[in-house]
Amino acid sequence: MLLEVEESQLVLVDYQARLMPALFEAPAVLANAVRLAQLAALLRVPTFVTEQNPSKLGASVPELQAALQQAGARVLSKMQFSAVEEGLGEWLRPPAKSVQGNARSLPKHLQKAAAGPERGTVVLAGCEAHVCLLQTALDLLEDEFDVWVVTDACSSRTERNRDAAFDRLAGAGVELVTTEMVAFEWIRSAEHPDFKAAQALIK
Q: What is the pLDDT of residue 202?
A: 83
> What pLDDT digit, counting tens, does each position of 88-118 carry?
999 999 766 555 555 555 555 454 444 445 7
Taking alpha carbons only, the member of 87, 92, 75, 5 closest to residue 41 is 5
Taking alpha carbons only, the member of 163, 116, 119, 120 closest to residue 141 is 120
* Domain regions of the chain by residue span: 5-92+117-202
Q: How many whole angstroms separate alpha carbon 89 and alpha carbon 91?
A: 5
pTM beyond 0.75: the answer is yes
pLDDT above 90: residue 121: yes
Read off the pLDDT band of 148 (50, 70, 90). Answer: very high
Class of domain 5-92+117-202: alpha beta
Q: How many whole angstroms separate alpha carbon 80 and alpha carbon 199?
A: 36
Q: Residue 43: CB partners within 8 Å, gap ≥ 6?
A: 5, 186, 187, 194, 198
